[in-house]
Amino acid sequence: MKTTILIVDDEPGVRQALSGVLRDEGYAVEAVASGEACLDRMTRGGIDLIVLDVWLPGMDGLATLSRLRERQVDAQVVLISGHGNIESAVRAIKLGAFDFVEKPLSIEKTVLVIRNALNQRRLEAENRALRARVDRRQTMVGESYAMRQLREQVAMAAPTNGRVLIYGENGTGKDLVARTVHALSRRRNGPFVEVNCAAIPEELIESELFGHVRGAFTGAVADRRGKFETADGGTIFLDEIGDMSVKTQAKVLRVLQEHTVEAVGGHAPLRIDTRVLAATNKELPAEIRAGRFREDLYFRLNVIPVFVPPLRERQEDIPMLADHFMAEFAREYGRRIKTFEPAAIAVLRGYPWPGNVRELRNVIERLMIMVPGERILAADLAFLDASALARPGPPSAPAGRPTLHEARDSFERALILRTLAEQQGNMSRTAEVLGVERSNLYRKMKAFGIAPARRLEGEEESV
Ligand SMILES: Nc1ncnc2c1ncn2[C@@H]1O[C@H](COP(=O)(O)OP(=O)(O)O)[C@@H](O)[C@H]1O
Ligand SMILES: [Mg+2]
C-alpha cells in the first residue's frame, strides 16, 4: 500500500504545489482546506502523515493538532509555520508534531522533513511489532497444574543466579524456559547466548565456546570471541548438553570451576561473569553410567533441576495452546482467527503429541494455511499420524533399555505429578491417595525436582 499524505492548508496554491511535489516523490496525496475537514478525513483512516498549516481559518493548526492527539491518531504530523513564528512551532513539537517547516516552503527541506518523519514512524511500528512478538514468544502458556508448577519453579530459579539444568523431551519448551529464566533474572539486560551443542561439529565446538586466537589452527585467520565471552554479564544456554563430547565437557567443567575462559591457542585466561543454563532430552544418569557424561559436570550443572513435562501429561493445556498459536499465526499471515469445533478439540486432546508443543504449533500453522473456512472440524485433523495414537510410550525415549531403577523413577514421577494435579496440589491429600507419609512424598518430590505448589491452598509449609 502506498504511503498516504494529507495536506491541510487553506491556500489552494500551496495545496496544489505541495501535492505535485509529493506525488512526484511517490506518495499518494490528499488535500483539505481546514482543520475541521482534516479531523473529519482522519476518522476514515489510511493516512500516514499530515502536513498541517498553523494559520487556518476556524480551528487553527495547533487546535487541530491537540484534537488529533486526544483522539490518539497515530499519523505523523509535520507543521507549516508562518515565517518567524517560532513560538507556535515549539508548542506544536510539545504537542507531538514531528517537526516544522517555515513558509515560504523550500521544496527540498519539506521533502526531507517528511521523509524523516515517515522513517521514524516506520521504525516505531517495527519496534512495537518486534517487541510484541518477543513478548508473545516468551509467554509460557498453560494453566494445568504441571504448567503452573513449572512457571513457579522458573520464577524461583530466575533471580538466584544459580545454574539450571532443564530436562524434557524434544519440543516441550526447554528453550522457552531458558529464555524466561534469563528474562526474569537480574541479567535480563545482558546478552542471552544460545549454543546448540548437538548441531556444532566436534572440531569447531571449542572455538565456538571459548574463542580462538589468530593462527591457532588452519583457517583461524583472525581472533574470534567465544560464546562464553559474548555472554559475559548475561546468560549462556548450552542446549542439548547431553550430546557434548567428553573432551569438551572437561573444558566446560574448568570454566565452571574457575570462572575463566581460555581461547584456543591463547595464553591468558579471561575472567568472565556468565550464568550457565543447560538443557537435555537425555537421561543424564544413564549417560553417566554409560561413560558418556562426566558426573562432576553433571553435579555442577544440576544445581537447580527443572523438568518440563511432555504435552501428553498436561492435556488440559492443549486448547489454550492451540488458541495461542492460532492467534500468533493469524497475525503473522494477516488472516482471521479460525475457531475449533468441540470435536476438533477432542481430537487434539486425544492425540499423544510425540513432538510435544512444537508439533502442536506446526499443526496449527498447517491448519491456518490449509483450512479455507473459519471453523476447524475434526475431519481437518485427519492427517494426524494415526500410528502415533497407538504408540504407547514417548518415541524419543533413550535408545536401549532403561534400568529398572530408571523405569521406576520415571513411573513414580509421572504418578506423583498426575496425582498432585488431580488433588490441585494439595500435599496431604496426594500423600493419602498414594498411600505414603507426607514427609516421604516431600522427599520424593525433592528428588524428582518437583516443587511443592505454593499459594494454591492454605496448607502449612513445613517439611
Ligand atoms: N508453554 C508454552 N507456551 C507457549 N509456547 C510454547 C510453550 N512451550 C513451548 N512453546 C513453543 O513451542 C515451540 C517448541 O518449544 P522449545 O522451547 O523450542 O522446545 P525444546 O527446546 O524443548 O525442544 C517453540 O515455538 C515454543 O515457543
Ligand atoms: Mg530446544
Question: Which residue lies with its CA nearest to atom 23 of ligand 1?
Answer: 171
Whether 327 and 221 share a structural domain: no
Say if 455 falls within a structural domain. no
- The type of residue at 438 is R
Boundary-marking domain end, from 360, 390, 420: 390
Whether 251 and 329 share a structural domain: no
Testing ligand 1's pocket by substitution, the residue of 196, 358, 363 carrying the most ligand atoms inside 8 A of its CB is: 358
Expressed in angstroms and rounded, the spacing between residue 241 Cα and the centre of ligand 2 is 11
Whether 198 and 269 share a structural domain: yes
Q: What per-residue confidence (pLDDT) applies to 423?
A: 78
Residue with cell string 500468533: 328
CB 410 within 8 A of CB 402: yes
Terminal-residue alpha carbon distance, the chain: 64
| Mean pLDDT of successive 10-residue stretches along the chain, which has 463 residues | 92 94 96 96 92 92 92 88 77 87 89 94 80 70 93 92 94 96 92 92 89 85 89 96 94 93 88 96 92 94 93 95 94 89 93 94 93 92 68 47 75 81 82 91 82 48 34
CB 247 within 8 A of CB 285: no
Neighbours of 192 (CB within 10 A): 19
Q: How many domains does the chain have?
A: 4
Give CA–CA dist 413/421, Å, rounded. 12
CATH of the domain at 433: 1.10.10.60
Q: What per-residue confidence (pLDDT) applies to 421?
A: 74
Q: What per-residue confidence (pLDDT) applies to 397?
A: 44
Q: What per-residue confidence (pLDDT) applies to 192?
A: 95
**Ramachandran quadrant class, 259 (left: phi over 0; alpha: psi -120 to 50; beta: rest):** left
CATH of the domain at 220: 3.40.50.300
DSSP 64-120: HHHHHHHTT---EEEEEE-TT-HHHHHHHHHTT--EEEESSPPHHHHHHHHHHHHHH
Q: What per-residue confidence (pLDDT) applies to 461?
A: 34
Q: Which atom of ligand 1 is nearest to the CA of 169?
A: 22
Whether 301 and 322 share a structural domain: no
Neighbours of 324 (CB within 10 A): 18
Whether 169 and 300 share a structural domain: yes
Q: What per-residue confidence (pLDDT) applies to 401?
A: 63
Boundary-marking domain end, from 264, 287, 307: 307
Whether 87 and 183 share a structural domain: no
Whether 290 and 319 share a structural domain: no
Give CA–CA dist 49/97, Å, rounded. 10
The contacts found for 44-47 with CB under 8 angstroms, 24 or more apart, are: 46/4, 47/4, 47/5, 47/6, 47/75
Give CA–CA dist 52/92, Å, rounded. 10
CATH of the domain at 59: 3.40.50.2300
The bridge status of strand 260-261 relative to strand 270-271 is antiparallel
Q: State which residues form the domain around 439.
A: 404-448
Whether 368 and 426 share a structural domain: no
Expressed in angstroms and rounded, the spacing between residue 177 Cα and the centre of ligand 1 is 8
Whether 287 and 384 share a structural domain: no
Whether 384 and 425 share a structural domain: no
Say if 267 falls within a structural domain. yes
Q: What per-residue confidence (pLDDT) applies to 73?
A: 82
